[in-house]
Amino acid sequence: MALFGKLEFQGGTMAEKQRIVIVGSSIAGVSAAEGARKQDAEADILLLSQEPFLPYYRLRICEVLDHPETAPQLTLHPPEWYDDLRLRRLQGTVTGVDPAASRVRLADGSCQEYSSLVICTGSQSFVPPIPGIQRPGVHTLWLMQNALELAKVIARSRSIIVIGGGLLGLEAAYHARRAGLQTTIIEKAPLLLANQLDEAGSALFCRRVQSLGIRVETGADILAVTGRDDAPESPARGVRLADGRCLEADMILVSIGVKANMGFLEGSGIRTERRILTDTCMQTNVPGIYAAGDVAQPDGYWFGLWPVSRQQGLVAGSNAAGGKAEFAMNIPPYMINTMETRVAVQGDKGLSEAPGYSLDISLDEERGHYRKLVYRNGILSGFMLVGDTSEFVKLQQAMGKPTASLVGA
C-alpha cells in the first residue's frame, strides 16, 4: 500500500490562497478535501494523517485478518486522485490546536498554520476497565496497522475470543473463523445487534452465526481477563465470566465500541461533550474551525455511519473554503452484509404496544429470512429485514405511506 508523503503544491503563492488544513484522512477527511477543492479551485489544502497509508475503507479492514495481502486493494483512491485535486499530504499526529494563532501543533514539534481548519479525527477503540484487560495478548482493531499486526497473531493462533458483538466484532470473528481459529463471541447485551434488531430477528441472525462454527455467548458479563498465571504481565489466556465460567483462548480481541478521538483539543476552547459540538454547517463554536465524521456531533446528533461521515465531510470542506452548505439531518437506514447474510433496518423497530401500532411479520427458518413491517395508524413507520433484503428499495420508498402502497409487496 502506498505511503503518505509530502507533495509539493504547484502554482501561485501561499499568501494569495486560503490555507485549509484537514486533520484526519478517513472518509470524512477525504470528503472534506474534495468539498473544499470543489468550492475553491485555488486553495492550498493540506491533508494530515497519523497513519502511513493512503486513506482506505475502514469498514473492510477485517478482510486483512485472514488475507493481509489484500490491504492495498482497500484504498479509497489511487495516488493520482490526490495529485489531480492538488492536495498536499503529510503524515503526522496533531497534539494541539491554537485558534488564537490559527495553527495546529504536531508531535514532532512542528506547526501548520491555517485560515480554516477541519477536524476529522474520527474515533478510537474503547477499552473497558476490566481487570487484566492490559495483559499482553489482548488486542484492539480500528486502524489498518492494527489489522496487519492482528493478521500475524491470527496466523500463529488456534483460538480467539472476541469481546463485543457489534459489526466490527462480528466481522473480525468471521474472518478469524475463516482463518481456522476456534472463535467465540462474548456480548454483554442479551442479543446480537441489539440496537438494530428485535428478539426474533436477532435470534435468527445468531443461529446464522452459530451455523458457521462460531460460539456465541450473549448476556455474558466479563469479570476479568485471566492470564497464564497471576502476574499482571502474564499473557492473556482467557476470560472469567460473572456466572463463574472461564473461557480460554490464545488471543483476545476487544471490540465493544469507540470513543471520539479528540484529546488533543484540550485547552483549545472548542466545545465538546462526548464529541465535538457543531451546527448543521459543521462549524464549531470557534469561527473557521469545522468538524465532521465520527468526531462530530451536529446539533446534538451522532450517527457513526459511513455515508453520513462522507456527507458531513463534503459540507465541512465546502464551508471551510467559503461555501454555505448545510448537513441534512436525515437518519439513514442501517445496512450490513456480514456472516454471509444481510441485514437492513430503518425507522421504528415496532417494540411499542401503544394504540395505533400494527405489525406484519414473516419468518422462514429454513431459508434464514425474517421480515417485519411496522405500521403506525396505517402508515409504514419502519421495517426490518434479515437474510433476504431484496425488498429494501421498495420498502424505503413506502416509508411514511399507508398500507395500501405495499399491496403485492
Is residue 247's pLDDT more than 50? yes
3-class secondary-structure state, position 119: strand
> Is residue 13 very low, low, confident or very high in pLDDT (cuts 50, 70, 90)?
very low
- The region of weakest confidence among 263-272, 287-296, 323-332 is 323-332
| Averaged pLDDT for residues 365-380 | 94
Cα 138–143–145 angle (5° rounding)? 80
d(CA 19, CA 407): 56
Here the cell at position 213 is 462454527
- The CATH class, in words, for 340-406 is alpha beta
Q: What percent of the chain has pLDDT over 70?
A: 94
Give the three cell numbers for residue 233. 504481565
Fold (CATH) for 138-254: FAD/NAD(P)-binding domain (3.50.50)
Question: Same fold for the domain at 14-123+259-320 and the one at 138-254?
Answer: yes
Neighbours of 288 (CB within 10 A): 16
124 contacts: CB under 8 Å, gap ≥ 6: 142, 258, 259, 260, 261
What pLDDT, on the 0 to 100 scale, is given for residue 401?
85
Q: 29-43, 238-252, 326-340, 385-399: which has the minimum mean pLDDT?
A: 326-340
Mean pLDDT to the nearest integer, 18-23: 98
201, 369 Cβ separation under 8 angstroms: no
| pLDDT tens string 176-225 | 999 999 999 999 999 999 989 999 999 999 999 999 999 999 999 999 99
* CA distance readout (Å), 352 to 94, 210, 363: 46, 30, 20
Helices marked H in 6-143: 27-39, 63-66, 79-84
Expressed in angstroms, the distance from the first to the final Cα of the chain is 46
pLDDT tens digits, 134-178 = 999 999 999 999 999 999 999 999 999 999 998 999 999 999 999
Amino acid at 150: L
CA distances from 115 to 46, 99, 100, 166 (A): 11, 10, 11, 39
Alpha carbon distance 185, 165 (integer Å): 7
Please give the CATH number for the structural domain made up of 14-123+259-320: 3.50.50.60
Distance of alpha carbon 246 from alpha carbon 69, whole angstroms: 35
- The per-residue pLDDT for range 74-131, each reduced to its tens digit, is 999 999 999 999 999 999 999 999 999 999 999 999 999 999 999 999 999 999 999 9
Give residue limits of the domains in the chain: 14-123+259-320, 138-254, 340-406
| Per-residue pLDDT at 25 exceeds 80 | yes
pTM: 0.89
